[in-house]
Structure 1
Amino acid sequence: MTVRLVSDEKIAETSSKGNQEKWYDSIMDSWYKLDQFGYEALAETLISVLLEKSSIETDTPFTFVRYRMEKVRAHGRERTGCVSQNFLRLGQSLITVNRLLTNHLGVPLKQKLMQLPSDKRRIAYLAEATAEYTGLTEFPRYLTLLFEVDALFCNDDRHLNNIAVIEQAGTYNYCPIFDNGAGLLSNTQILQMDVAPKALISALHARPFHTTFTRQMNSARGLYGKQLSIPKLSDKEIRDALQPMLEYYAERDRGIIADRVTECILTRQKTL
């Protein structure tokens, strides 16, 4: 079935990668996100499926958003996307750490972070200042978990506007982990399909501190401990989870996507 989306429901959200098309369906209380640069919907969906195997919701106070693949009709043509339930309740809003800390500092957060002498100091400031201003004492663990998820799945778009908390009437809560669609080498406009995955992985930089995924993750773990526990994934497990999602893409691309995604995860999980 193809879901029809109309243009007056469109919300264009700017990120460091460009504009990503999203629609909010008020009847279903759901968000639709469309592929923009490659196979972001597949990456978003697969990562949420694989996080089900982790202990995030049993060993930490945090959670993550579940996605499923969907065909949608937008701007008069069929597009591939994914859908998730809206996690914000009535009266709640999403506040990025960039906006939160910039408002408190009176200067851009990026400027403050650049004055600090090391990645470890920057991570500590971001984690502890957010915890102080929001009262979310476990935010350092939350930030570490984000960096671990990004390191495993090569999500290189965790900029300062992609880390957020939920606010309601001056009270804050943790945001479910979401917006992982830039992971798994999904941007095929920049990360070309004819380049070997390992070469692409080695050239990536983790945000927000523009360092390696492993260094960013280990700096956070050195401060706040390991948060993510997930069983080692096999080639077969990854490909089995991928199979129904690949049906949304051209047959000629399915094998290449499967190989890229599988090699990405198998390579990165060794660092955890």
Structure 2
Amino acid sequence: MLEIDAFFMNEDRHTNNIAVIYNEKTQKYELSPFFDQGLCMFADINQDYPIDQSLEYCLEKIEAKPFSSDFDIQLDAAEELYGIQIGFQFTFKDIQIYLQKNSENYPREVIRRVEQLLRRQMRKYGYLMKK
């Protein structure tokens, strides 16, 4: 979950929105990794991350939660304890195709920001990208 939050810059993780899934067969609980991703990728373009602000500005302003205000500190601690838990299996070309298919739903500036951010994140967290 923290790997996904770091990669997609989800600033809305807090202790009241960490979900678990119960597996009846194993009778064990597991974290639900895709839960409440609504504020990822600088989604609040009306107030906190105006679309006319640069990616660098947004990156300086964003704060992780709940264990540290820095995504990398949280991620390093979680990976030290539990190892790498996820591997993303998409390419930048996959992202471009998806955004192109959905381009009529979003302004061009939003699509450009998403492309910029995901390109950056894929470089930064390259070890999470499955080949």
Which of 29, 32, 40 matches 1:173?
29
Contact kept, 8 Å, 1:154 with 1:264, in 2: the verdict is no
State the one-letter code of the partner of 2:74. Answer: Q
Answering whether residue 31 of structure 2 is matched by residue 148 of structure 1, we say no
**Partner secondary structure for residue 105 of structure 2:** coil
Q: Does 1:233 align with 2:91?
A: yes
**Does the 8 Å CA contact 1:156/1:206 hold for their aligned counterparts?**
yes
> Which of 106, 110, 124 lines up with 1:271 in the alignment?
124
Letter in 2 for 1:218: D
- Which residue among 184, 191, 204 is the counterpart of 2:49? 191
Identify the structure with bigger relative contact order (alpha carbons < 8 Å, sequence gap 6+): 2
Percent sequence identity is 31
1:208 equivalenced with 2:63 (yes/no): no
* Greater share of strand: 1
| Structure 2 length-normalised TM | 0.78
Deviations 1:4-63 (A, max 9, x none): xxxxxxxxxxxxxxxxxxxxxxxxxxxxxxxxxxxxxxxxxxxxxxxxxxxxxxxxxxxx
Alignment match, 1:105? none
* One-letter identity of the residue aligned with 2:114: V
Q: CA deviation at 1:245?
A: 2.6
1:265 counterpart letter in structure 2: L
Looking at structure 2, the residues matched to 174 and 224 of structure 1 have their Cα atoms a distance apart, in angstroms, of 13
Structure 2 spans left out of the alignment, 5+ residues: 126-131
SS in 2 for 1:151: helix
Q: Deviations over 1:100-150 (max 9, x none)?
A: xxxxxxxxxxxxxxxxxxxxxxxxxxxxxxxxxxxxxxxxxxxxxx01001
Q: CA deviation at 1:172?
A: 5.8
Displacement of 1:225: 0.6
- Residue of structure 2 aligned with 1:160, choices 15, 20, 24: 15
Amino acid in the other structure paired with 1:245: N
Structure 2: which amino acid aligns with 1:256? E
- The higher radius of gyration belongs to 1
Conserved 8 A contact 1:156-1:183:
yes
Cα offset for 1:158?
0.7
Q: Match of 2:29, as an amino acid?
A: N
Structure 1 unaligned spans of 5+: 1-145
| TM-score when normalising by structure 1 | 0.40
- Any conservation in 2 of the 1:148–1:228 contact (CA below 8 Å)? yes
* Deviations, residues 187-223 of structure 1 (Å, cap 9, x unaligned): 1121011101122023211111242111110111011
RMSD of aligned alpha carbons: 2.2
